[in-house]
Structure 1
Amino acid sequence: MDHLYWNLGTCAGGAVFEIELRGSTARVCLMDDDEYQSYVDGDEYEFFGGFYDLTPVVLQVPYDDHWWLIVDSYPDNIRVTVNQVFDDD
């Protein structure tokens, strides 16, 4: 399955990521390891996120786990920037 993805690694619940989309709308999905494997295998899966046409997209990790960020769009027409947001405390 052709898709853009970022292996975010192990993240604590509450971690925040900001995704900037340029050139196209996209479905942005935050998935743990099990759901990502189901996605790749073509099985049913669940994710956090949705379809976005305005950016930045801000997604918060719901619980401690290994996370993947997937962007479903036309890879040749979109530029994506992913940054973790940190508190200034």
Structure 2
Amino acid sequence: MRHLYWDLGETGAAACFEVDWRGSTSRVCLMDSDEYQACLDEDAYQYHGGFYGYSPITLQAPYDDYWYLIVDNSPLSR
């Protein structure tokens, strides 16, 4: 799976991340390290975010953990 990602490291609950992009609708996902690994392994995974046709958006970490931010504009994204 091809995507852009940022390793956000250890982040506390309620931390906010603003994502700004140009171009088409994109899937923007905030995932903890376990969910990101499942995504890479092509297993079932969950994320915070969704598909957005506008920018910028803000996502908030729901709990303390190690976080990754993923942006994918593939129409085949789950």
Residue ranges of structure 2 left out of the alignment (5+ in a row): none
What corresponds to 1:16 in structure 2? 16
Letter in 1 for 2:72: D
> Aligned to 2:21, what secondary structure does the other structure show?
strand
Identity of aligned residues (%): 58
After superposition, the CA RMSD in angstroms is: 0.9
TM-score by length of 1: 0.80
Name whichever structure is richer in strand by fraction. 1
- 1:73 deviates by 1.2
Please name the residue that 1:78 is paired with.
none
Aligned to 1:47: 47
- The higher radius of gyration belongs to 1
5 Å-filtered alignment, 1:5-84, equals 5-73=5-73
Structure 1, unmatched stretches of 5+, are 75-89
Aligned residues: 74
- Following superposition, which runs of at least 4 residues in structure 1 exceed 6 angstroms of deviation? none
Relative to the length of structure 2, the TM-score reads: 0.91
- What amino acid maps onto 1:13 in structure 2? A
